[in-house]
Structure 1
Amino acid sequence: MPKTVVIATDAPVTGFTDRAVASPIAQAVRFDKMLFVSGQGPLDPLTKQVVEGDIEAQTHRTLSNLRNVLAAAGADFSNVVNMRVILRDVRDFGKFNEVFRKEIGVERVSRTCVGELPTAMASMSRSTASRCSISQHDPHRHPPSFFPARVCGKNRG
């Protein structure tokens, strides 16, 4: 089965690369009922520049970019299985998490959040997380599927 590249015109293709050259990175790639989304950041879709503002403004922009890529693929936050978040400063976690909670709404995802640790947590050298998703399925039609994917499409048959 061939993969399909997803293009969202209202989200940046990639950031921090030569803007005069086409990026080799896809915003997302669909393969069967799985959707693999590239990392999104607080970049303005038109200028590809980091938006002005604090962690709240940048979190809103990042999640808006992600929402737009999902929509271009026919998905939304209800299809998200796992997210990896990287914060420049873990002390921003509380503010980030409040915006995240509002943007995601009632949806629940597994999430790993990493960043530079404050001095009080410097003794913690590492944390691990594992992930596995099971698609919704009709046991009479399809067996459960297991994917190591961040975003999975709804199983429609």
Structure 2
Amino acid sequence: MEKQIISTNNAPSAIGPYSQGVIVKDMVYTSGQLPINPQTGEVPATIEEQTKQVLENGKAILEAAGTDMSKVFKTTVFLKDLKDFAKMNEVYATYFSEKHPARSTVGGAELVKDALVEIELVAII
């Protein structure tokens, strides 16, 4: 089984020895996306802005892999503070139809770049 590496300029470059995304068979796995604007390198201030940027980054990787957000079936959300759950959830809900993906949420995590949120996606092609 061979894996295909996904790379796009529409999402932040990897900060270490990992890929933005990987395709294995008919599945796409994104690395955890941070709220870094790929054009400016800036991280927005609020949890709402960060959640939107994270999901836009993930969306760009999925599109580079030939799929989209409607094909996401599993996500993992990492929150620096679980008190941000409701605000994150409001933005998150705008990215998925009524057939919501399965999700795990982990709180109390120290995240790279002192981010408030990080999200990884798993989708089918």
> Fold match, TM over 0.5?
yes
Q: Which residue of 2 aligns with 1:30?
A: 23
Q: Does 1:11 align with 2:11?
A: yes
Q: Deviations over 1:40-65 (max 9, x none)?
A: 0101113434x222100000000000
Counterpart among 37, 40, 46 of residue 33 in structure 2:
40
Q: Aligned equivalents of 1:81 and 1:103: distance in 2?
A: 13
Partner amino acid, structure 1, of 2:14: T
Q: TM-score, normalised by structure 1?
A: 0.66
Distance 2:49 2:86 in 1: 14
Pick the structure with greater CA Rg: 1
Letter in 1 for 2:25: D
2:48 pairs with one of 47, 56, 60: 56
Q: Which amino acid aligns with 1:105?
A: S
Q: Distance in 2 between matches of 1:54 and 1:32?
A: 37
Runs of 5+ in structure 1 lacking a partner?
16-22, 118-149
Partner deviation per Cα, 1:65-103 (whole Å, 9 max, x = no partner): 000000000111122121110111100100000000112
Q: Distance in 2 between matches of 1:107 and 1:41?
A: 25
More strand by share: 2
CA distance in 2, matches of 1:47, 1:14: 15
Q: Aligned equivalents of 1:152 and 1:58: distance in 2?
A: 21
Contact 1:77/1:107 (<8 A) preserved: no
Instruction: Provide the residue aligned with 2:122 in structure 1.
Output: 151
* Contact 2:69-2:95 within 8 A present in 1 as well: no
Query: Which of 85, 105, 113 lines up with 2:77 in the alignment?
Result: 85
Match of 2:118 in 1: none
**How many pairs does the alignment contain?**
114
Question: How far 1:7 moved relative to its partner?
Answer: 1.1
Structure 2 gap ranges (5+): 110-120
CA distance in 2, matches of 1:36, 1:3: 11
* Aligned-residue CA RMSD (Å): 1.9
